[in-house]
Structure 1
């Protein structure tokens, strides 16, 4: 089976399973053109499903947990890629703990982000899926605990320098 068909099959299966487990959530689809080198790197891990990941919109007393990324300077929600044997929700919880020091509990699925990665010189596409969850704060001391994170904080509204994808998903959730 081609890489395009296999990664699309994985995304479709994950979408169905997540919608069955958490009820239907909006799906945001986006296509990115990437370099041949990046495409080749992604292709090496794509067949094992390691391009998928989870993130958490953690809320406590009406405040949203955000982290400022060291590489972009933008604020976003904690999240990242799967590790062996994890579910999307387990990934989101682990990433929140690793990046912010916060323990959280997933309470629902906010939105799915279906990404298509295309190299201009290739006739193939790699599909990946990000699951963004609603999560409640449980415990923990807020601190930047990961080298990729410069700062963490609780927000009552989105800062001006929030990542576009987080801003978009905050709006999507409010509309549904």
Structure 2
């Protein structure tokens, strides 16, 4: 489902939904981070998604990462909590969701990298390579917090 991201935009629609989500900074043995080019907005992002009833936050991060990238992960830490009320996602169905994401740190344990119906392209990047990639500001904050060693954070 296509979406439009608004960050601190006075013309953004008002949020009508708040859904907890997990995002995952997945770092391989070479220190590279896994990002995916999203199908709904064309931007690079971390794997992640909506926290489902009946699952733990770690299980959410593990499930979403596998669904979106094909990689099985182990959660090894916590990057931060990101809850900017000025960052909303407007979906075609009328939902306007306020950002509420808990970002986890993980390492790969199994699986093969693959494309999902939520992304065009998953790829590994060195920390330096992430600088020039197009991504929404909220994802940029998470990647930069990890890259610069500024975690855990509450934003």
**TM tier relative to shorter chain:** 0.7 to 0.9
Q: Structure 2 unaligned segments of length 5 or more: list them.
A: 1-6, 89-96, 151-155
With normalisation by structure 2, the TM-score equals 0.72
Cα 1:88–1:175 shift into 2, 3 Å? same
- Candidates 82, 101, 105, aligned match of 2:70: 101
| Correspondence for 1:76 | 45
- Candidates 99, 107, 113, aligned match of 1:142: 113
2:130 aligned with 1:130, yes or no?
Answer: no
* Equivalent runs, 1:8-157 vs 2, <5 Å: 34-35=12-13, 39-40=15-16, 42=17, 46=18, 51-61=19-29, 62-116=31-85, 129-145=100-116, 147-156=117-126, 157=129
What is the root-mean-square deviation in Å for CA atoms of aligned residues? 2.5
With normalisation by structure 1, the TM-score equals 0.64
Cα 1:154–1:118 shift into 2, 3 Å? closer
Q: Structure 1 unaligned segments of length 5 or more: list them.
A: 1-29, 120-125
- The 4+ residue runs of structure 1 with deviation greater than 4 A are 30-34
Higher radius of gyration, 1 or 2: 1
Contact conserved, 2:25 with 2:105, CA < 8 A, in 1? yes
Q: Displacement, 1:171? A: 2.2
Query: Structure 2 CA distance, aligned partners of 1:128 and 1:154?
Result: 25
Of 163-172 and 106-115, deviating more is: 163-172
Q: Residues 127-175 of structure 1, C-alpha deviation per residue, up to 9 Å, x if partnerless?
A: 7631101100111010012x22111111113142233222222222315
